[in-house]
Structure 1
Amino acid sequence: MNVPIKANRQLMSFRYGDQQIAFERVKRPQATSKVLIKVHPDCRVVVSAPEDADNEMVLSAVKKRSRWIYEKLRDFRKQLEHITPRQYISGESHYYLGKQYLLKVIEAPEQAQGVKLLRGKLEVSVKIKSAEKIKTLLADWYKARAKEIFAKRLDAMLEQALWVTDCPPLRILTMQTQWGSCSPNGRITLNPHLVKAPRECIDYVILHELCHIAEHNHSERFYRLMSKVMPKWEKTKERLDGMASSITS
């Protein structure tokens, strides 16, 4: 099983004024009759609803909050207008463990190429300034940090996952749609982009995958186990979801 960057979903939509607004319907994990509506900073509208709720009921609940959804989308779209594609030049902001660091590019033909975290800045040394080379060096640096940090956090989370007898194998792999996954034989795979998120978000994904070693699907037993080892996991998941567009670009 896996922790998706964007949840498995059913696409639905409704009309507000002259706009057709699409939203993703996902299963709400806890037993409740309420419909939960969230508008994310990347302008995704996600509606969590009980599995047995029919689409008409869900659509009715969404329409009641149509004005609020419209206004949130309008505000987030204004913010996105100011986000420009990364150029990998000095002055850009890049995430690491939930904090933003300024990128400083140093052209030094005689120095070894690489990345260092110094005095609150990500310093990248290159022989000749090239966006592709800087991007590659940063990706390699993030993967190296991810390998080290994920291994430490896995060890820490195993203290809570008492059902796991041996430390599972860990793989680092860039994935387009998942933060992490757990294979049937218990191997955990984590996305290196996750190292840009706060430590509690890393712990959440690791615990999610460790829970899958005991419960291989998203059953009620799985969510009970998840809530036992991380009582406020839903808030942490929401925080990670809100950062997705910022830390995977």
Structure 2
Amino acid sequence: MASVESHQDEQPLEYVSRYGGREFRYHLCYVPDHKKATIRVHVHPNGMVQVDAPESAQLPEIKSAVQRRARWILKHLDDIEERHRDVRPRQWVSGESMLYLGRRYVLKVINDPNQQKVTCKLLGGQLRVQGNNVSPERTQKVVSQWYRDKARDVFERRLKLMVDTLPWTQTLPPWRIMEMQTQWGSCSPEGAVLLNPHLVKAPTRAIDYVILHELCHLVEHNHSQRFYNLLDRFMPEWRTIKEALDGKAEILLSETALPEFR
């Protein structure tokens, strides 16, 4: 399964692996040891292969683990390439589909000579951009800002609700939005949370999963078994939500014209 996995800030090392006459590159990130820590392989939706390994793992051991997963990795890289064949660049014109909180809305661009400022509003089933001399470039700019504004409002509201349900959080942690190509979110060792504004296109339950994922890092700073136990305790269905979210990452993380999130 392709994965967008949040992780702590590491400096990745790049290696090449070969299998069946093919080769692929992967980024190696060392994470703090845990008694049940294992070598984990992630294939991101943009085709980047990431390997998380305990700090105590030796390089030959890591390379061997990657080689054992090589067939699995190449299959998912092929799947990503196949999905990208249907990707169409967005034109930023009326009729295109826009996603917000898991629902599809139709982009409606209205040139209004009496309105100098270009505005973006959600009205019924439309995301309506209106103003004087509205070009595709101006449409893209105002829509992107609309998403960022909505993301701040939605994320803050969901963060507050999630903080109230967790025993280890009494106050809202420092947080901000930041566009990322391969992550829905991240949590620094100091406890600062970053959330990708594109996530606001996904259903609310998916947003809650990413927020919970990052808040669990306040307790467990790596992807150890204890970390996953916390996810299981507070969102038993998180694996299903994550699979659906990661499966639509190409749509949500990029400015492409594709079918709606299901």
> Aligned in 2, Cα 1:210/1:107: closer, same or farther, shift over 3 Å?
same
Are positions 1:94 and 2:98 aligned together? yes
- In structure 1, distance between residues paired with 2:142 and 2:165: 35
Note the alpha carbon deviations across 1:105-146, whole angstroms, 9 max, x for none: 222222463223344332222321322211121122112222
Contact 1:31-1:50 within 8 A present in 2 as well: no
Cα separation, partners in 2 of 1:227 and 1:121, compared to 1, 3 Å? same
Residue 141 (structure 1) aligned with residue 146 (structure 2): yes
The letter of the residue matching 1:16 is: Y
Classify 1:31/1:135 alpha carbon distance in 2 versus 1 (closer, same or farther; 3 Å): farther
Give secondary structure in 2 for the equivalent of 1:101.
strand
User: What is the aligned partner in structure 2 of residue 83 from structure 1?
Assistant: 87
- Where does 1:46-195 land on structure 2 (aligned, <5 Å)? 46-47=50-51, 52-111=56-115, 113-168=118-173, 170-171=175-176, 173-176=177-180, 179-181=184-186, 188-195=193-200
Q: Name the SS for the 2:165 alignment partner.
A: coil
Alpha-carbon spacing, 1:181–1:80, altered in 2? closer, same or farther (3 Å): closer
CA contact (8 A) 2:173 2:193 kept: yes
- The answer on whether the counterparts of 1:43 and 1:73 sit within 8 Å (CA) in structure 2 is yes
Distance 1:236 1:71 in 2: 22
Please say if residues 168 and 188 of structure 1, whose CA atoms lie closer than 8 Å, have aligned partners that are also in contact.
yes
Q: Which amino acid aligns with 2:15?
A: M
Q: How many residues matched? A: 246
Instruction: Evaluate the alpha carbon distance shift between residue 244 and residue 55 of structure 1 in structure 2; reply closer, same or farther with a 3 A threshold.
Output: farther
Q: Secondary structure at the match of 1:147?
A: helix
- Is 102-111 or 239-248 further displaced after alignment? 239-248
Is the 1:153–1:203 contact (alpha carbons within 8 Å) kept by the matching residues of 2?
yes
TM superposition shift of 1:50: 5.7
Q: Quick one: distance in 2 between partners of 1:80 and 1:154?
A: 33
In 1: Cα distance, 2:70 partner to 2:196 partner:
35
Contact 1:94 1:100 in 2 (8 A): yes
State the AA in 1 paired with 2:110.
I
Q: Structure 1: how far apart are the matches of 2:71 and 2:190?
A: 47
Report % sequence identity: 40
Distance 1:145 1:5, change over 3 A: farther
Is the contact between residue 174 and residue 193 of structure 1 (CA under 8 Å) also seen in structure 2?
A: no
Q: CA deviation at 1:232?
A: 4.4
Equivalent-residue separation in structure 2 for 1:237 and 1:7 (angstroms): 23
CA contact (8 A) 2:95 2:106 kept: yes
AA aligned to 1:135 is Q
Distance 2:96 2:81 in 1: 21
Match of 1:44 in 2: 48
One-letter amino acid of the structure 2 residue matched with residue 154 of structure 1: L
Cα-Cα RMSD: 3.8
Please state whether the residue corresponding to 2:128 is helix, strand or coil.
strand
For the 8 Å contact 2:8–2:222, the answer to whether it is kept is: no
Is 2:205 aligned against 1:200?
A: yes
The answer to whether the 8 Å contact 1:201/1:237 transfers is yes
